[in-house]
Chain A
Amino acid sequence: MDENKVIICRCEDVTLAEIRNLIKQGFTTVEEIKRLVRSGMGPCQGKTCGLLIAREIAEITNTSIEKIEIQNMRPPYGGVTFEEVIAGDTIEE
């Protein structure tokens, strides 16, 4: 299998080769990997890659997947423009 052609994070174009390489370097949390290669920071917010990365970490570090935390989630869920934020703050007199 050519790990360079296996896409783990579709949004940020991160391959299986990159993920495995990072884990082998000692980055063994989903959150660390996210901060390094942006996996989970794209438009889908980790919906496709999160579990796959957790599973890779579990396998390579020989840890049970139950013990692996997925990335943090913060508002907003999905994009919102400043215009939209301000529009809601306008109080109608």
Chain B
Amino acid sequence: MEAFHMPSLGADMEAGTLVEWLKQPGDAVKRGDVIAVIDTQKGAIEIEVFNDGIVDSQLVDVGTTVPVGTPLAMIRGESEAAGGGEPPPAPEPPVRKAEAAAPPAPPSAAEPARAPEAAAAPGARRSISPAARRLAESRGIDIASLSGTGPGGAIELADVAAALGGAPEAQKRPAEPMSGMRVAIAAAMARSKREIPHYYLWNTIDLTRADAYVAGHNADRPPDERILVAALFVKAVALACGKYPEFSGHFEDGRFRPAETVHVGVAINIRGGGLVAPAIHDTASLTTEALMAAMRDLVARVRAGRFRATELSDPTITVSSLGERGVEALFGVIYPPQVAIVGFGMPAERPWIENGTVAPRRIVTATLAADHRVSDGHRGALFLNEIDRLLQEPEKL
């Protein structure tokens, strides 16, 4: 049984309002099915489930606003029994049921002695419900920083949810709370640095041919049909993944599954803070023009906060390109469960030697951060060199 959470879909999204349930308890769902519609500051967004299964229960009523990360529904595997009768004696179900049935009781006469942290003696091990622990860990929340309102000062799911952005004003906040977007980035990047043994390589690539190709392509075209060199970067990475499949896929449950189709995630900066890297589906199959159109569409939708939740989970490798403003190189942090991220710094004019002659050339520093559980530096070097080779023949991309 897995909880389905209120996703974070934008830099300033801290909470969402459930507008409509499109799947009811007992309905079978497949990965990618739209389960509900939520309303955010950016408008209504359809949210999708990530696993196949059956909707077991809905935990949030239509019209309710809840913080990012709040469980919205429980989804059980197809083999699991319905409602509470889970085969393994997991401690979660009763806890979850209790919370689902009785949302955080107001501090009324019923429990006068339930002052926060009253019973949490200094140094004592914090008591925390399994569901609360799981939510806290999945969102990168330090359990020690939480105060519990459950029996004996125990930390309950609602306490974690409150710490994620819905904390009542009465509670003292020593520091600015992180936005939902920052919480999501923090959790993913902390997991990446904890679990993925990164190695890093870089390579300088001469852009003379790529620039000439872009300039020639754009010369007679209206702005709508122009391309950016970034589209060539993304296409070259996608094609290189075809030859070096160990850089495109997902590492899950202790093993690497190479992707059958390369979906490059394109890192897009969000104004006001944060970034997302949604997928461009089947990147290698797109012409440069079609890829450029897809990237423009993606940027426009990210800016408007209108991308589908699955676009965030589909990428099999990420490309982060700093563009014309930035620094010479970036070393990426792999977005789990992916196993590689390719970075392109800001293209810059540098002295370049070819055939014994020094000449100014526009070059770009391409970097690779890859997962040592899946590949090693030798293959990584070949992969980066393949990207270089592809960018020297831009007309073939």
A-B interaction: no
